[in-house]
A = this chain, B = another copy of it.
Amino acid sequence: MLAPGHRVTRAPGGMAPGEFREWGHRFVDWVGDYLEEIEAYPVVAGSRPGEVRDALPAEAPLAGEPFDALFEDFRSVIVPGVTHWNHPAFFGYFAVSGSGPGILGELLAAALNVNAMVWKSSPAATELEEVTLGWLRGFVGLPPAFTGTINDTASTSTFLALAAARERQLPEAREDGMAGAPPGRVYTSREAHSSVLKAVHALGFGRRGVRAVATGPDRAMDPAALTDAINHDVTSGFRPLAVVATIGTTSTTAVDPVGAIAGIARSRKLWLHIDAAYAGVAAALPDKRHHFAGWERADSIVLNPHKWLFTPVDCSVLYVRDPAQLRAAFSLVPAYLETPETGVTHLMDHGLALGRRFRALKLWFVMRYFGQEGLRTILAAHIELARRLAGLVDAARGWERCKPSTFSLVVLRRSPAGVRGPERDALNTAIMERVNASGAAFLSPTEIDGETWLRFAIGNIHTTARHVDATWEALREAADEVG
């Protein structure tokens, strides 16, 4: 029996349209207030581990609950446990932020709830993905030879690219697997994202399947070291398969020399994948284009609109020169998925996932709402904020900057005279934790040559000079206090 006051939803039917509208309007107002008042929230959740879990019952309610109760718990239990990526002083990781049109695109996508596994299961979702990724390709100046697909994250996009690389480079593994094949090797720099190793390991090449190539003074891959590594591996019985170059590494946004690497990859007949997950959209800016010279010679490129193009997570785009190679790795059509259309794209053939959300809708809204010029203006403003911050750091005594600051990330540390090694690392960790604990801003650390630095990542759509200046001031105050 149900407790009095609880409402049971009749089956079938679900939520009545009137109730949906009522709560939809209330939630839209809440979101509007939330985005307007975002600076009133601490950036990082102050929760202790287990606090959210302990505030909720261990079992689902037997009877249905009124929406008031859900909304109340959302506000009193969930929101205080949220780290606010929307906060304009969120400077950690990469400062990923959505935007109004992106949020509204997700609302419509969730309502339509199509599953674009084959063309017929939602022609508009499939074709809008093609159209929008054509727009994005043009925006960043890639040639039409590239075909895009949206995946959840760059880790998945890189995994799919390397699976296609294996299919082309190690065809003997297609039927019989890798047990009889030579050990394969993927080359990437020491500064590459951990997702490369994760992908190579998942594909069955083991931890030794990745060879970390040495970097030069700017933490960019050294092409001579790449050639040496390939030569050494060939004589040792390894089969070189692919090179993963990065434009904008996670740690410091270092830029691998893509042109030189593309030449090596082509001459050695290796697959070239480019990880431009964060920085890729900066190719839309004329004064940043030179960092991308040669990327059009890659076999595959990942760039994430959910990172720095104001599109809610998840939206990672994988561009490939030859989608037939993705299909060779992933196309399998059982009878229950056969459809009569020809000449259409079935998104399920381009990756591991069969089901596909209508993720193109939010990106389409974002690109139309802002327009190419609007997006360029925001990206350029973020880079200008980083330049401004770099100047402040360079002018401050006892602070140091990891140069160059190529895009919108500034990597810095406190480095007073006479403080070195683990003592300096501990000082910087203490400064960062003090600022983060204040709730006023959030930065995350990195390691360069084994030493601790602080990453000040600009990219949130609401960030202005005021937020950058105040956080820089907070870092200096924290340094005085903990120093």
Contacts and interface: CB of A to CB of B under 8 A. Distances in A.
A241 B177 CA distance: 14
Contacts of A332: 194, 197-198
Copies in the complex: 2
A334 interface: yes
B85 A464 contact: no
A50 B127 contact: yes
A461 interface: yes
A36 B15 CA distance: 11
A329 B202 contact: yes
Q: Which of A56, A136, A341, A352 has the most CB of B within 10 A?
A: A352
Interface in A155-184: 155-156, 159, 163, 166, 173-184
B153 A177 contact: no
Contacts of A337: 93, 194
Interface in A440-483: 444-447, 455, 460-464
14 contacts: A6-B371, A11-B381, A12-B382, A17-B35, A27-B108, A49-B341, A59-B138, A60-B135, A64-B371, A96-B113, A115-B313, A152-B152, A177-B178, A177-B184
Interface residues of A, number: 185
Q: Which of A80, A102, A181, A444 has the most CB of B within 10 A?
A: A444
Contacts of A61: 367-368, 371-372
A343 interface: yes
Contacts of A106: 106-107, 109-110
Contact of A28 (B21, B180, B463): B21
B35 A361 contact: no
Q: Chain A: interface secondary structure?
A: helix
B23 A25 contact: no
Interface string A26-67: 011111111110000000110101111100101111111101
Interface stretch (A204-212, A217-225, A254-262, A397-405): A204-212
A122 interface: yes
Interface in A61-112: 61-65, 67, 69-70, 74, 77-86, 88, 92-93, 96-104, 106-112
Nearest to A69: B368
Interface in A356-381: 357, 361-362, 365, 367-374, 377-378, 380-381
A434 to B, nearest CB: 13
B336 A101 contact: no
Nearest to A458: B12
Contacts of A368: 60-61, 64-65, 69-70
A353 B152 contact: yes
